[in-house]
Structure 1
Amino acid sequence: MKKVKVSLQPIVSKINMPTVLKTAILPGDSIERLFIATQVGEIFYIGDGVIRTFLDVRPRIIKVGVSRGGYDERGLLGLAFHPDFYYNGLFYLHFSVAGTQGPGAIPGAPLESFKPNPCDSGTLNLRWTNREMYYDHIDTVEEWSLQPNGQPQRRRTLLNLRRPFLNHNGVNSLNFSPETGKLVLTTGDGGSGFDPFNLSQDNMEIAGKIIEIDVVKETRIYNPPVATRFNELPVPVQETLTVIAKGVRNVPGISFEKVYNRYIKYVGNVGQDLVESIFSFVHYKPIPVTQLVQASLGNSELDQEGLINLGWRGWEGAFPTTVIKGCAASPTLDEKTIAYYNEAVETSVRRLQPLISYFHKDPRPDRLGGTALTGVQAYLGNGIPGLTGSVVFTDLARDEGVHPPVRGFLAYARGQTDCKLNDFSIIETDYNFGSGSAYYVSLGTNLDQTRLYLGVYGSMKVADFNQGTVFEITP
């Protein structure tokens, strides 16, 4: 693939962890402005070269970074502007709610403690029980409105979701579909590792799904009950929801590319121990949640034709999900064992093949190993030669077997929809980060997808404050 070089032009620095980067035109304004949402709960926008506060919801968000040495995957996770935001002032937030800290779904167990043992069926069939007591936190999806006086005001809550673990809540998790006009929510599998309760493949679980929300439908329910399963939602709320996809581990958003009169959808799925993956699809048949619930109540077979299945937890991208152990006979090698053989078989035909899989360890001399996919965007501009019509993605930190300072990386691949596994190419950058670490934590674009923005943080810990810089990616 063609070598592409870009420049990183700093826009704003010394901000907190930038989780969402996207643009909008404020009502009554004439300029498209960049909005930056931070994980701790601030939303800024850039106007006339000055950074201004749009909304600060820090008091409403769970205190992040107080455990696990400052690392956290909760907080303000999603921001989306209504397609008619300029006229109606509506926008949407997804965040972890203050005061909802619980003991976790497996009390007393460290987050990384769960690992399936293919020789022990008990580890392959765990159940999340007593959910109202044993959970980590509650996430909420809210609708807000920008008032005529310029002040944002909360209008209603669309969903309240109880989450089993601290991690895998999604990020850049709210985006409007230009195809359907609906709000798309991407939910992670609930966290820990290896999806211990197999929530992502269970049709009734909200976790591990990509969901469309019809925000036009009026439910007259302004604060729905907290739920983990679709059948726990009131019927008027169920009627606003359809499911696009399941088999999700953790998704850094969804991106759309219009080609003639159809839309290609790009979805990244963060991997477990081996591989990061990006999927693409055009055609899908969303299943109304009311149908899912009726099929469950009647114990009847559900027509899942057209429902996208990313394959997790049986598959990690192009590979069956694998448990890795050190080889006693050779420290330089690893023993790799299929974690969930039966589930890999069951989902092998139904799952969508990835467009791109890139690896944590890649022996090829012209590739970098990755750690976690943090952003996926279709680029439709002509300003950066070589990237037009590509899908661009970011990884948190390259794994080159070297010591700090850490660097993330940018890469790209050509979009295609024939389900053939594609290759990728690293994008070279010219910015000198000096001796500090540079984790690539988010990727964003403007309204017509002709400009790209990169969020970089100097630490993996959200509790290390003011280490964020947002760049524009330029020729």
Structure 2
Amino acid sequence: MAGKLLCSIVFASSLAVIAGAAHAEHGAVFETTVFAPIHAGGTTVTLETVATGLTAPVKAVAAPGLPEWLFVVDQAGTLWALNLAAGAPVSCPSADCQVFLDVGPAGLGLIVPLGVVGPGTFDERGLLGLAFHPDYQSNGLFYTYTSEPASSLGPPTFPSTVPPVLPPGVVSPDHQNAVSEWEAVDPADPSAGVMPGRRVLMHVDWPQFNHNAGDVVFGPDDLLYISMGDGGGADDRDEQLFVQTGTGGMAAPIVGHGLDGNAQKLTNPLGKILRIDPDGSNSANGQYGIPPDNPFVGDPTALDEIFAYGLRNPFRFSFDSATDTLVAGDVGQNDLEEVNVVESGANHGWPIKEGTQSFNHNGNDEGYACNPDTGPFPCPVPMGDLVDPIAQYDTHEEGHAVVGGFVYRGEAIPQLAGRYVFGDFAREFGFPGPNETGRALYLQQKKLSKSGLLNVQEFNVQGQAELGMTVLGFGQDASGEVYYLGNLDGLPFGTEGLVLRLAPVSN
């Protein structure tokens, strides 16, 4: 009984940091970040239902040459082609919401079985990212980020962080995350589907099931940017007990991070944003190119692919279509959620710091954010040239896990022009999923400045006291309008997934 109780406690604690976030209950040591609130009383908007019947939509983007379509990434494995010209709401599947690609169990069967302790439970793995090649109209190429069984793809592209000899009871790597290239049958016709086969650009051993990051985005330089989390577990550090998939919720010591974390190590891709050229071939595996102006090219102590580092779980990021600024939401550990402007070579500090605060990994116990002058103590003094976020908010009272969005460049809501729209997964996490709804947020100031923190504002959604769903991702169409994506329970199961368009209040 004692062992079962310990595992139950560890499992509950582990699930609470799954999307990177807060534990449901904290000791006083964690209650130090109330200085970072979310401000109420923001712009009043409505959320129009555009599509229903999905499972767990996490991203939606337009494809070059198809301005009336939105391609929706569903964590459960389906890539949907949604016809925006059909009129809302659209039910999926239907003639106006078709399966473009299915890598889930009903399709190609590439992704891992979802559910940390079985069907109906939380997970962060799956189909996570999508990017269309800038020349999609002519070449039909697009790219995905998927979580696949560790044994299915062979030796990883980069040396594994998982040690060759594991402690008793430890199963790692949990899976591999893969970036793959696909080709559409007809780039002008989503109903034509996808050609058989794919080209795997890279696949990476993942120590635990969580902190996968998973976004892929083409930048204004026509290069592919890839976000990777720190490999999972907690504190980006070995030794703590953490839940393992496929064991019924049993826990084992974390491995694959070392005692100084992955995010600060330039020898592996975990905790980084990578930048590659899918059209090139000068990488070590010959499957992609290394841009010559990547910040660590030629450094024998670093991976050439790294663009920025010191990140925990930059699940969603985007480029502002007007300014080319790269903005990422980075999920915090126990105390602070971050919005970051990411530039070449930048070190965003994790796990040396969390938000603007220092971070104490606290040995085998939960880590915490702290201030070297005011505590909690002990509190290390952060060293190095570390970049602070442009905005942050408290994990305890305000939210659970930041979900990055887009700078608004649409025309429907002029007062939002140039403001970053994003959200929070859920205010509180419970088992088997969140027990409160997410939050619809934006940055109050237009200028995404790196000097000083910007205010985080909550939308006033007309007719709703709360958002009414978990926030899983965001979309932006060819006109710059922004979409909230989510479902009712935060789990990658069922058919309650929604696509909601941010819209003005009708007169």
TM-score by shorter chain over 0.5: yes
Tell me if structure 2 keeps the 8 A contact 1:323–1:336: no
Deviations 1:188-220 (A, max 9, x none): 000001101200000001111100111111359
From 269, 273, 288, the counterpart of 1:206? 269
In 2: Cα distance, 1:9 partner to 1:453 partner: 9
In 2: Cα distance, 1:45 partner to 1:358 partner: 34
Answer yes or no: is 1:88 the counterpart of 2:142. no
Q: How does 1:451-462 map to 2 (within 5 A)?
A: 451-462=481-492
Residue identity opposite 1:37 in structure 2? V
In 2: Cα distance, 1:400 partner to 1:207 partner: 25
Match of 1:18 in 2: 57
Match of 2:164 in 1: 130
From 244, 251, 256, the counterpart of 2:307? 244
- Please, which runs of 5 or more residues in structure 2 have no aligned partner? 1-38, 87-95, 154-160, 238-256, 288-297, 367-373
Q: How does 1:307-456 map to 2 (within 5 A)?
A: 307-322=345-360, 337=376, 341=380, 344-347=381-384, 350-361=385-396, 369-398=398-427, 406-413=436-443, 414=445, 415-430=447-462, 432=464, 438-448=469-479, 450-456=480-486
In 2: Cα distance, 1:437 partner to 1:429 partner: 10
1:279 deviation in Å? 1.1
- CA distance 1:408–1:70, change in 2 (3 Å): same
From 229, 232, 255, the counterpart of 1:188? 229
Q: How does 1:147-186 map to 2 (within 5 A)?
A: 147-148=185-186, 150-153=192-195, 154-171=197-214, 173-178=215-220, 180-186=221-227
1:14 deviation in Å? 2.3
Tell me if structure 1 keeps the 8 A contact 2:61–2:476: yes
Task: Give the aligned length.
Answer: 388
Q: CA RMSD in A?
A: 3.5
Residue identity opposite 1:139 in structure 2? N
Residue identity opposite 2:102 in structure 1? D
Comparing 414-423 with 352-361, greater Cα deviation is found at: 414-423
- CA distance 1:93–1:433, change in 2 (3 Å): farther
Tell me if structure 2 keeps the 8 A contact 1:156–1:223: no
Q: TM-score, normalised by structure 2?
A: 0.69
Deviations 1:304-339 (A, max 9, x none): xxx11110001111111256999xxxxxxxx97468
Tell me if structure 2 keeps the 8 A contact 1:157–1:222: no
Which is richer in strand? 1
- CA distance 1:60–1:131, change in 2 (3 Å): farther
Tell me if structure 1 keeps the 8 A contact 2:321–2:409: no
Match of 1:53 in 2: 99
In 2: Cα distance, 1:130 partner to 1:400 partner: 34
In 2: Cα distance, 1:400 partner to 1:359 partner: 15
In 2: Cα distance, 1:338 partner to 1:407 partner: 33
In 2: Cα distance, 1:443 partner to 1:97 partner: 23
Higher relative contact order (CA 8 A, sep 6+): 2
Runs (4+) off by over 6 Å: 220-224, 323-326
Match of 1:263 in 2: 324
In 1: Cα distance, 2:302 partner to 2:309 partner: 19
Tell me if structure 2 keeps the 8 A contact 1:375–1:441: no
Tell me if structure 1 keeps the 8 A contact 2:475–2:483: yes
Identity across the alignment (%)? 27
Deviations 1:88-125 (A, max 9, x none): 111001101146499xxxxxxxxxxxxxxxxxxxxxxx
SS at match of 2:324: strand
- CA distance 1:433–1:21, change in 2 (3 Å): farther
In 2: Cα distance, 1:15 partner to 1:241 partner: 38
- CA distance 1:309–1:382, change in 2 (3 Å): same
1:151 deviation in Å? 3.3
Tell me if structure 1 keeps the 8 A contact 2:262–2:270: yes
In 2: Cα distance, 1:223 partner to 1:467 partner: 41
1:398 deviation in Å? 2.6
- CA distance 1:388–1:161, change in 2 (3 Å): same
In 2: Cα distance, 1:25 partner to 1:454 partner: 21
Residue identity opposite 2:422 in structure 1? F
Match of 1:229 in 2: none
In 1: Cα distance, 2:115 partner to 2:60 partner: 21
SS at match of 2:138: helix
- CA distance 1:240–1:8, change in 2 (3 Å): same
Residue identity opposite 2:217 in structure 1? N
SS at match of 1:200: coil
Match of 1:34 in 2: 70
In 2: Cα distance, 1:63 partner to 1:382 partner: 41
Tell me if structure 1 keeps the 8 A contact 2:263–2:271: yes
SS at match of 1:33: strand
- Please, which runs of 5 or more residues in structure 1 have no aligned partner? 103-126, 225-234, 286-306, 327-334, 363-368
In 2: Cα distance, 1:393 partner to 1:354 partner: 15
Residue identity opposite 1:24 in structure 2? A
Q: TM-score, normalised by structure 1?
A: 0.74
Tell me if structure 1 keeps the 8 A contact 2:405–2:474: yes
